[in-house]
Amino acid sequence: MALYPGDIFAPQLQLLLAASLILSGCGSEQQRPSSSVVAPIPVDALVVDFPSGEFDSNIVETLAGDLATVNPLVNETLAGSAVIGRILEGLITLDPNTGEVIPNLAKSWEISADNLQYTFHLRRGIHWSDGQPFTADDVLFTWDCFFAKQLDVDSGEPVLDENGRVKYRYSSRSTFGQLINGQEPLVEKLDDYTVRFTTPEVYAPFLLFGGGEEILPKHILQMSFDDGTLMDQWSVETAINEPWKIVGLNMFVLESYRPGERIVFAKNPNYWKVNTKGQRLPYVARVITKIVQDQNSSNVAFAQGLTDFESIGPDNVAWVKRGEERFDYTVLDMGPSSQT
């Protein structure tokens, strides 16, 4: 999930209502078709010390709103962000309880004494959901996309706006979130698993906002980047007809999408996080996301027992807690939310 200025400081407290079905790891099991390429568990796999669960369970949730795209470079909707965040990952992430920046795709990093250079060391052996290796080339490609400029057809020079500023090719929040006083950071590949960013001036939030950006697969999107059709990739039509083309590094992949009805996510067979026993996560085989009109519809679906969990804001905590025992659900404090 990409992180942007202002998001992490939102005062909302996210609470998860988890039905007993989820906590016990039960539910109807459905076997996901095996991937054509399942890579070995990475040597640098991230060990996650969560309570043990049962593999191959399914969960049901809701999402308010339909998709406009699954392309993070042009997405402007909360529904799109929710889906993209299920599929893609960043170099760093946040501890859900403390909000502390912690390793993710990058296993470690150093910041130079002058606070201008950030050197990230990537985990070795990670593979995309389609089995292709993840390397520093994917990181550089992602920033190439962020800073791709609109070029004049005749001169080939960057197009400027009315204020003399460069116009970028994609309308991504990421593009403008990475500019520091209008200047781009320098991104360098030191080797296949080391990337260095140099900021034009001291910018304290860079570790959070730069490191938290979702990384794009170069092997999938490079050709469309080169021929100028990247904006059209990972569209709603792709999600409906060819969801396997949307590859990622997060725990789920898009299995199917029916506009106005549901989205189905399947377990990423090449996910790079494991439990303390060395077993590849996640425990859940599928997430079935029912599309609803608004948050009220989502709350009603949970109250009727049609979904397995629900996020609520602090204003609803008191009355929700009162029904916890009567209606057999559990309220979990998931820490500060990263959503406004």
Residue ranges and CATH numbers for the domains of the chain are 13-336 (3.40.190.10)
Closest CA to 253 of 87, 37, 66, 61: 87
Q: Residues near 157 by Cβ (< 8 Å), separated by ≥ 6? A: 151
Q: pLDDT digits over 96-142, tens only?
A: 888 899 999 999 999 999 999 999 999 999 999 999 999 999 999 99
Exposure string of 23-32, with b = 16+ CB inside 10 Å and e = fewer, is eeeebeeeee
Query: Which pTM does this prediction carry?
Result: 0.85
User: What digits encode the pLDDT tens for the residues 2-39?
Assistant: 543 333 333 333 344 444 333 333 333 334 444 468 99
Given a contact cutoff of 8 angstroms between Cβ atoms, the answer to whether 67 and 226 are in contact is no
In whole angstroms, give the CA distance from residue 7 to residue 99. Answer: 12
| Distance in angstroms (rounded) separating the CA atoms of residues 271 and 101 | 21
Structure tokens at 82: 């929710």
- The tokens 């706006």 sit on which residue? 161
* DSSP secondary structure code for residue 231 in this structure: G
- Give pLDDT < 50 ranges for the chain: 1, 3-35, 338-340
- Give the C-alpha separation, 119 to 193, whole Å: 10
